[in-house]
Structure 1
């Protein structure tokens, strides 16, 4: 009977919608992974919202998920970051290809305050101390900013540890043993063209320094050695060229890339206000940051807006729209539906009406077309979650919630729930209360998957 869906949803509570469709899968989900050379920008913010929602989705479908952040704390970019901090501390111009912005000055001042006399030491020692302390301070801020956005990782993995533990040498030795490594022009190469890549990739440069790709090899093997069935990596569209070499890498170590490696590519985000692009940050100067977006529209709207579109679509995010407290703002529309039901249930309690026992609910009383429409929508929720998880598509959850909110509003406008005056409380009254509570449960569970709150008052 269709009406039993309402009872199932209320009784299951937070568990309603969860399935075991992906049970037994052990996944490593890597996302954001911004270099610790600056605050999280708007592109990384999209991955934070989508990646966290995807992790929640996969877990709701029974998968075991480890969220991982890989921070590149080794290499030329970190050297430029340290030199930029040194320049700021000494009042010098930004070095060529260096980093600028108020945040560089702030971090430089913190490093100097923590190490009195640092600016009197020799240049090499200064650079090392600015590197070590600067990276620590920058990454602490990145972690704090993401945590304030509701995104916390299970593992924060340092690229530097791959160099320090000999993991790079072990990875190259394994690839060599598999017969895919050769030397040419004084460098060491992986023959990735054997596995469909457009050209072979260097592992060790002619000067003896390892490449970023060598670290990628060691990192992939580290994940597989930790027992993950599949490595899922979320990258910006500007990293599309990495797909072929990553797939070739997986094949070179003996894996089936289609089974053990999945790379999701996401498009850009453009912010718009008053019809004009928003391009500048108050702190970073040249890019828009996560904090700028949250300040403009709030964390809930930011997360919902970024997760609402398929990752392969470029977003033009209208700050005016997403900051409005009106029904044309999609997140407000969904949250308002939950708040409206919460208000109704409070009013019912004031009248002495409670849900009671599930066994006492006459679900057969729910015969109106709007009631049937709402029940069918509620019954679709588990399938929506499973499909969204399998397709790596959190936006399907957002679009479902908007349709559910609309279905509820149409039900509410057509079917009176609470009695008026001296009207008798009937089995239909109780059944409709259960239907409302069930809708609130699904709205709440769906918003939770997206990392968005379900307010009881608005």
Structure 2
């Protein structure tokens, strides 16, 4: 009988329900039971504070509630003992076979281990990166590319229907500045004031000219239109290529311009007006966002009749909802804190629940250092570091892992020297080395004729060593880590878990010999440990996949 943390949680809830039905407790049965591994392993394999949670509503001392639950939990198959500790903790010790069974479960589940249906049926729109199509993706966008894609993978692993979306800001004045910069570069003229500089501008300008022979002989206004449209097309293609090389693909590339061309901005204003939150003042049309926590009302249509960026934001949100997305996640840069409340106000003004239908995540700045000095200049983009620069400096795997392993709301430094080193101080190397080592052990086992054997011949009760127990305990935590990381929108939890798991595997490997030496006979313990080795390989691979990072078989 295998006992996982999830199964223990179910057993605790069942014990509460049984006690309530028996009249021993008078409480509402909780919807979940927190079961965790104690920091001190001498306290058991797992522990829960359920008795202390129920003590006050039950009107009983915590230890008395604990005993009511313990007498039921002691009869659960796979639980060796239940002890009451301190103010009312319930400490569980599992039967040795129950703990070891997990290795077989993981190997047989393969890529499915860690996945769940926690968000089954939830349709989520995840918008991230969305850099202006006027230049390469800069280092801030690189962070959201890594974190956003990892979050999408996590949400999909928990059953959600996720649409990865890139919003192309192709309707603003920045696009005209981009076109003017290309036009100037093609004619060998200085970059216009507020224009875009960098080698990439000259490269794109040259590509536009090559695509349109005789372009520079046409009237200046016609040239401008060609540079704008073709330049945007080329820039978007480069952005797509750069992201694809980084392992990030979008389901939808949404053009802001189409909101205006299809009349969606005007319709959005009327829909919000019908909700009773639109008014007119000083010749302009306003949305009363202060009714929902914004610091000031926002202009939708200016007095000259032109829609604002905010009007397009409102139309875009409504478009997402019309496409059936229940939860809409916006992943914005560090300078967008002011957008949080105004975007939520749009949802509220539209009659939606701003605490459910819309989420706004803010990512902090990223800097890159090499030889102790901050890297500031790009080879192609001038004064910004681009996605291609990051990949060239440290590689896709190291970049994706490093960008996803820290909370997105903290400032991050990418140390090129550290992230390209083959040392345990390099976190991605530390984790990938375990992926390679476990694969190497499996290869060596095959070469030595060591076979795990059939699943029914697995002897989980032999996995009694302290380091085996530590490793099994961490492997059991993986599904909970995945579910929590998805729920809290925090992919870094997976990375930190993998590093802890890697450390546990190293300790297991150093203390528990898996393969025979010389003419030594292959034992059932060796076979059991090979199951545990292969289970670790599977969880490391599954976790790295959620971060968009490879699990190499050799290093």
Q: Shorter-chain TM-score category?
A: over 0.9
Q: CA deviation at 1:177?
A: 1.5
Residue 260 of structure 1 is matched in structure 2 by: 357
Residue 132 of structure 1 is matched in structure 2 by: 229
2:374 to 267, 270, 277: 277
Aligned equivalents of 2:386, 2:375: Cα separation in 1: 11
Helix, strand or coil at the partner of 1:258: coil
Residue 165 of structure 1 is matched in structure 2 by: 262
Which gives a bigger RCO, structure 1 or 2 (Cα 8 Å, sep 6+)?
A: 1
Helix, strand or coil at the partner of 2:99: coil
Matches within 5 A, 1:25-64: 25-64=122-161
CA deviations 1:36-66 (Å, max 9, x no partner) are 0000100000000000000000111111111
C-alpha RMSD over aligned residues: 0.8
Aligned equivalents of 1:197, 1:26: Cα separation in 2: 27
2:400 to 303, 310, 320: 303
Helix, strand or coil at the partner of 2:439: helix
Q: CA deviation at 1:446?
A: 0.3
Residue 244 of structure 1 is matched in structure 2 by: 341
1:345 to 428, 442, 462: 442
2:280 to 169, 183, 200: 183
Residue 414 of structure 2 is matched in structure 1 by: 317
CA deviations 1:44-89 (Å, max 9, x no partner) are 0000000000000011111111110001111101011011100101
Helix, strand or coil at the partner of 2:247: coil
Larger mean Cα displacement after TM superposition, 183-192 or 124-133: 183-192
CA deviations 1:95-150 (Å, max 9, x no partner) are 11100000000000000110111112222211111111000000000000000000
Larger mean Cα displacement after TM superposition, 372-381 or 192-201: 192-201
Residue 76 of structure 2 is matched in structure 1 by: none
Aligned equivalents of 1:170, 1:356: Cα separation in 2: 66
Say yes or no: does 1:449 pair with 2:546: yes
Aligned equivalents of 1:299, 1:108: Cα separation in 2: 29
CA deviations 1:317-357 (Å, max 9, x no partner) are 11110011111100001000110111111010011122222
Say yes or no: does 1:106 pair with 2:191: no
Residue 293 of structure 1 is matched in structure 2 by: 390
Aligned equivalents of 1:30, 1:81: Cα separation in 2: 24
Aligned equivalents of 2:154, 2:480: Cα separation in 1: 12
Aligned equivalents of 2:167, 2:453: Cα separation in 1: 50
Matches within 5 A, 1:330-341: 330-341=427-438
Residue 454 of structure 2 is matched in structure 1 by: 357
Q: CA deviation at 1:186?
A: 2.4
Aligned equivalents of 2:309, 2:217: Cα separation in 1: 34
Residue 156 of structure 1 is matched in structure 2 by: 253
Question: Whose Rg is larger?
Answer: 2
Aligned equivalents of 1:196, 1:370: Cα separation in 2: 53
Larger mean Cα displacement after TM superposition, 347-356 or 259-268: 347-356
Residue 68 of structure 1 is matched in structure 2 by: 165
CA deviations 1:131-170 (Å, max 9, x no partner) are 1100000000000000000000111111111111111111
Helix, strand or coil at the partner of 1:150: coil
2:238 to 141, 150, 172: 141
Aligned equivalents of 2:309, 2:226: Cα separation in 1: 23
Helix, strand or coil at the partner of 2:129: coil
State how many pairs are aligned. Answer: 458
Aligned equivalents of 1:169, 1:203: Cα separation in 2: 10
Aligned equivalents of 1:392, 1:177: Cα separation in 2: 34
Aligned equivalents of 2:515, 2:390: Cα separation in 1: 41
Aligned equivalents of 1:279, 1:187: Cα separation in 2: 42
Matches within 5 A, 1:418-433: 418-433=515-530
Say yes or no: does 1:9 pair with 2:106: yes
Residue 81 of structure 1 is matched in structure 2 by: 178
Larger mean Cα displacement after TM superposition, 42-51 or 267-276: 267-276
Say yes or no: does 1:93 pair with 2:190: yes
Post-superposition, which runs of at least 4 consecutive aligned residues in structure 1 deviate over 4 A?
Answer: none
Say yes or no: does 1:231 pair with 2:328: yes
Normalized against structure 2, the TM-score is what? 0.82
Helix, strand or coil at the partner of 1:3: helix
Aligned equivalents of 1:116, 1:186: Cα separation in 2: 47
Aligned equivalents of 2:242, 2:474: Cα separation in 1: 36
Consecutive unaligned residues in structure 2, runs of 5 or more: 1-97
Normalized against structure 1, the TM-score is what? 0.99
Consecutive unaligned residues in structure 1, runs of 5 or more: none
Q: CA deviation at 1:23?
A: 1.3
Q: CA deviation at 1:207?
A: 2.3
CA deviations 1:273-317 (Å, max 9, x no partner) are 111111110110000011111111110000000000001100111
Helix, strand or coil at the partner of 2:125: strand
Aligned equivalents of 2:452, 2:314: Cα separation in 1: 57
Q: CA deviation at 1:241?
A: 0.4
